[in-house]
Structure 1
Amino acid sequence: MPKKRSGGGLTGTQQAAKFLGVSVLSGAVLAGIALPAFGVLGLAAKGTVQGFDEIPADLKRPPLSQRTTILDAEGGQIATVYSRDRTVVELKDISPYMQNAIVAVEDARFYEHGAIDLKGVLRALNRNAQSGGVAQGASTLTQQYVKNVFVEEAGDDPDKVAQATQQTLGRKIQELKYAIQVEEELGKKKILENYLNITFFGQQAYGVEAAAKRYFSKSAKDLNLEESAMLAGLVQSPSRYDPVNDVEEATKRRNVVLQRMAAVGDISQAEADRAKATPIKLKVSKPKNGCITAVDGAGFFCDYVREAFLSSPVFGKDREER
């Protein structure tokens, strides 16, 4: 069985120290990440603290878009309709292997630091200075979650998506302030749950439940070690590590995740080695989307339901929200 990491909170003194460190260092440190030359650090950081204070403190977290299932009077499925294939699940319904894998590869110190990982920031600063460019970032899982909220809010608007993902100093500072808010309001376990539900895993699958169904035709709670490591590896680059199109690259990336899990103590080295030697075994499911796929010739009824839903203010203030 996978080992469960402690989600224990920090002491009040530690939280205060981390918050103070974030407030004081946010401008200088994040400017250093964005700009590799230390010589311009002072100029880049000027005004950053003031800008940090001016950012609204409330991060809006709209409900995640999910698939809608249209049923007949007897409860049989007629069709599914969605813009993003996602089914939100609670953390208890996500395999512990999956939880450990995503933390190990994306933010191994997730349960140890606050909204910002100061050790990670300093490490990134050093690496970037040595490389003469931005070779390494320092985003925590919480900061990544905040960025994903921006992307989700942008919807399918390419300009808004580009704005949500831009790598600018202002955007980094904004992510940092909202990450502090999210850490205080939600706590580690809820952040992890939200992250796993919002993240894109490739193949049109948003969230770990849709990803588990897409690649392995099973629920997220039933993912084993090898499957969890593969899915966790996708997050960095869903297209590059897509196992459907390039199983060799996907295997390499999966094995990186497995080794990382061993390094942080989630699994033993023997378990990692056995999992690495196991070929990726996909059982791809391609969900049908839209009324055109309705069963038993019920497409007309499906279209009627869909239009009634989108036209009624009961389900939202405008068509886009519905």
Structure 2
Amino acid sequence: MIPSRQIVLEAGDRVAPFVHRTPVLTSRLLNELSGAEVFFKCENLQKMGAFKMRGAINAVQQLSETQKKAGVVTHSSGNFGQALALAAKKLGVKAYIVMPSSAPAVKTMAVKAYGGLVTISEPTLEAREKSAAAIVEEEGAVFLHPSNDLNVIVGQGTAALELLQDHPDLEFIMTPVGGGGLIAGTALAAHYLGTNCVVVGAEPREVDDAYRALKSGEIEYNITTDTVADGLKTNLGDINFPIIKELVSDIIRVEEDGIVAAMKLIWERMKLVIEPSSAVPFAGLLKEREKYRNKKIGIILSGGNVELSNLPF
């Protein structure tokens, strides 16, 4: 069942006092390279450096007072962990963050700086889930999934909501696809606020579970996660996938060299610090430029939490 228009609009009102209304930027050169008119929603300039602040603050606000006293817990490679730690801090709630040992050091340090209580686990989904479940059991904390929780999903969609308020005539919005929260929330915003606005995802070919899921109609899983886009190594969930299946038009698969090239272009030409995951939809647009020629396209630059000592270019 698709959440209502009211739920989407209420999320926008709920998160507005706690997040930046991030700018929408354009580049003449990148328009020429892509053959389209592109509007970049700069969530890399969001508080804690990523769109995930939106979903975290929307979800934490809707907990009961009893739940807030017990605290919240999630597992995250970095961005949602940072978002939940900061959102919880703003609302006076304790946040327990399970992070894999493979998470970039800059993200682990940031979670701690925001007051998150970090537990390091083995870098497998099973280990992360087990550690989070133990904290729920021991502390009574409320588990919030980074991408498969309706309040998180609708919160993430507020980036697209703002983008469409600023540019209501967009024909397409493109987002990266990892766990599915951003693209599902974006699809809801476009469904209710766009005018025939089509949502398209992009993901690394090495982790193309969402592409395959859209084809098969069932949640798919990845055999490998060998991609520079470290934020996109997770799978779709049973809450976001039905939204994606109904409202997302297409998912473009991109190669690793295309991701790095797109990331470098945005750094060099727009002077924007973005992480590899953010570059994936622009890489998809460049790959499929003939299909989107002369279209008005919004792209959500999902985050800018990159480890400067480990750039891919």
Please tell me the TM-score bracket, short chain as reference. under 0.3
| TM-score, normalisation: structure 2 | 0.28
Larger helix share, 1 or 2:
1
Query: Larger C-alpha radius of gyration, 1 or 2?
Result: 1
Larger strand share, 1 or 2:
2
| TM-score, normalisation: structure 1 | 0.27
